[in-house]
Amino acid sequence: MSKVLILFAHPLFEKSRVHNELLLQAQSLSGVTINDLYQNYPDFDIDVEREKSLLLENDIIIWQHPLYWYSAPAILKQWQDLVLEHGWAYGKYGSALSGKKIFNVITSGGSEMAYQKGGHNKYPIYDFLIPFERTAELCKTTYWPPFWVPGVHRLEIDQIKIYATQFKKLLTALKEDIFSEEDILNHKLLNHLVPIQSMQ
């Protein structure tokens, strides 16, 4: 069994229909720890040693956040800057996170079509996640494809609940090591490991 840490960052969580549903499902699972960065550090004064301990205690690390200006909310960058220290997370002698798995759980106002070449945002969603991929690789972790909920402003509540159920099924499967590394990396989105059609 793998232990999962969700590093959650949303400055307007009370207004987020989708992240509320996603976390509601995640909270119901044992072996999943939710670390709400804005709630725990409203003044951005991050407890680095606490965060390091949480990372060491878990096998799978999730950066969960809305896509803000093609990146993450500010506190997640603050977390990366302070917690992923040279000599601990990366560098010649930095291997504390070696072998762990990391991926993004993201929401976007833009649709899937908007995040394609020729679409409104001109580039695929994966291009905007390259800094996360490089960060993960620099820390000697394996970067997995994202779980993505696009077009959130247009989703009806029943659609949101389907995504939330999908997320719960994914977390359960990852905790129980159901999927092989090869299978995970062969998908562009982790959503595809637990197809929505199988839940309808």
Q: Work out the pLDDT band at 200, boundaries 50, 70, 90.
A: very low
Handedness of CA 159, 161, 165, 170 (dihedral sign): positive
- CA–CA separation, 16 and 152 (whole Å): 9
Q: Which pTM value belongs to this model? A: 0.94
| DSSP sequence for 107-134 | E-SS-TGGGSTTSTTSS-HHHHTHHHHH
Tens digits of per-residue pLDDT, 65-78? 999 999 999 999 99
Average pLDDT value for the chain = 94
Judged against a pLDDT cut of 50, whether residue 122 lies above it is answered with: yes
**Residue 197: predicted pLDDT:** 64
In the chain, % helix, strand, coil (3-state, to 5) comes to 45, 15, 40
